[in-house]
Amino acid sequence: MPCWGKECIVIDKIYVNGMEFYGYHGVFPEENKLGQRFRLDVMLEVDLSKAGKTDDLTFTVNYADVYQICQEIVEQKVYKLVEKVAEEIAQSLLQKFSLVKQCTVKVIKPDPPIPGHYQSVAIEITRGRT
């Protein structure tokens, strides 16, 4: 952990990767009717020093809660853009977990319904506290 004087910069991260959900997001009516798989990766910047020293869950973020927030947004809401899905997830995570300083959300849309051969398209956003 780099320190300058009495101030230390803590850059600890929690990754919750490869979450997979079924949702109805897209600009085409077929996407909203048929739905499709979405994959998500989330990275949370949290000071984990107290959790590491105390072995106490209250000083970190419960991965199951992160999963549940992502699942609810992807599976229970409908948006045209995956950018909106990512924004809702980021804002919800920042609101729920006061320990999170910044979060990065990557939404992957496998086999998008666009001409050509694509394995997937993805967007990634990073949001933090002001």
For residue 45, which phi and psi values (nearest 5 degrees)?
A: -95, 120
Q: Which of 33, 77, 106, 109 is catalytic?
A: 109
Tell me which amino acid residue 33 is. Answer: K
Q: Are strands 100-110 and 120-128 parallel, antiparallel or unpaired?
A: antiparallel
Is residue 32 a contact partner of residue 85, using CB atoms and an 8 Å limit?
Answer: no
For residue 16, which phi and psi values (nearest 5 degrees)?
A: -125, 105
Distance spanning both ends of the chain, measured CA to CA: 23
Is residue 79 a contact partner of residue 101, using CB atoms and an 8 Å limit?
Answer: no
Catalytic residue list contains 109 = yes
Active site residues: 109
